[in-house]
Amino acid sequence: MIRFESVYFAYEKEKWAVENLNFKIKKGEFVALLGSNGSGKSTIARLTDGLLLPNKGNVFVDGINSKDSPNILKSKVGIVFQNPDDQFVGTTVEEDIAFGLENLNIERKEAHRRVYEITKRLGIFRYLKSSPSMLSGGEKQKVAIAGVLAMQPDYLVLDEITALLDPVSRKEIFNLVYTIVKESNIGVLYITHISEEVLPVERIILVSNGKKIKEGGSEEIFSDYKLLESVGVSVPAIFKVYSFLKNGLDVTSHELSESILLNKL
């Protein structure tokens, strides 16, 4: 389990980037962290894998305090950032994914198997010998995700991984990650400012100015239009239409799909 216990963090003195933050993520759970730019989301990501350490309070991963052994945290928590270009180290996709495994001293045969398996699963197998820089934004991001998944972390932090993608690739990446993770036992913190994306997610943590504003399912989070507006997060069009039609519907906001709504219009 990842556990934030009254966590405070400041880059500058007395200016809290994260303030009194409490939350838990169990293995196998997919939790979204939703907030506008500057809400503290990326700081929270870096606190989760020990890149940053709290000034006050504690971050525990499977009972290990990040202050005691940040390096163990790094091996338990995989992280993918917004811009895949910043994360490539290999000259080919294969090398890039294998690099992380070599660092973990994984035996070559096993490394090979993992690279093969994960690239098949993510649909990037045919790019194994290509240079990551030649790929499209969505494919690059798949390579970055593959690199982290191949290391078989217990937890995954995905920090705005779709923010720079076009809407078509954005949906594709989200659905892919959501399905893969649901099949596995990885605990995920999915960080985003795009509210449409998190509709299917069962637990959403809404943050603003480094503080947790609200935590709950999409129904609870999105019903308060005024609150969302005040923290700079949009209410998805699809949710607004859902709320309008709600009485005629027998689905929850998690199961919401475009086709269900369109059939009711």
Any idea which residue has 């293995």 for tokens?
27
163 touching another protein, by CB under 8 A: yes
Min dist CB 259 to another protein, Å, is: 9
Spacing of C-alpha 200 from chain mean position: 14
* 244 touching another protein, by CB under 8 A: yes
User: Of 43, 50, 45, 49, which Cα lies nearest the Cα of 15?
Assistant: 43
Which position has the token pair 């525990």?
A: 60
For another protein, the binding residue among 183, 247, 250, 265 (CB under 8 A) is: 265
- What are the two backbone dihedrals, phi and then psi, of residue 120, each rounded to the nearest 5 degrees? -60, -50
Interface with another protein includes 237 (CB under 8 A)?
yes
* Phi, psi dihedrals of residue 118, rounded to the nearest 5°: -70, -35
Q: Tell me which stretch binds another protein (CB under 8 A): 35-43, 45-53, 62-70, 97-105.
A: 35-43
Mapped onto helix, strand or coil, the DSSP state of residue 198 is helix
Only one of the segments 24-32, 93-101, 209-217, 238-246 lies at the binding site for another protein (rule: CB under 8 A); that segment is: 238-246
Chosen residue from 5, 234, 249, 260 binding another protein by CB under 8 A: 234
CA–CA separation, 77 vs 99, rounded Å?
17
**41/212 with CB nearer another protein:** 41
Q: Which is nearer to another protein, 137 or 217 (CB)?
A: 137
> And the tokens for 130?
């290509």
* By CB under 8 A, residue 193 contacts another protein: yes
Helix (H, G, I), strand (E, B) or coil at 126: helix
**Footprint of another protein on this chain (CB under 8 A)?**
36-38, 136-137, 163-164, 166-168, 171, 193, 195, 232-234, 237-238, 240-241, 244, 258, 261-262, 265
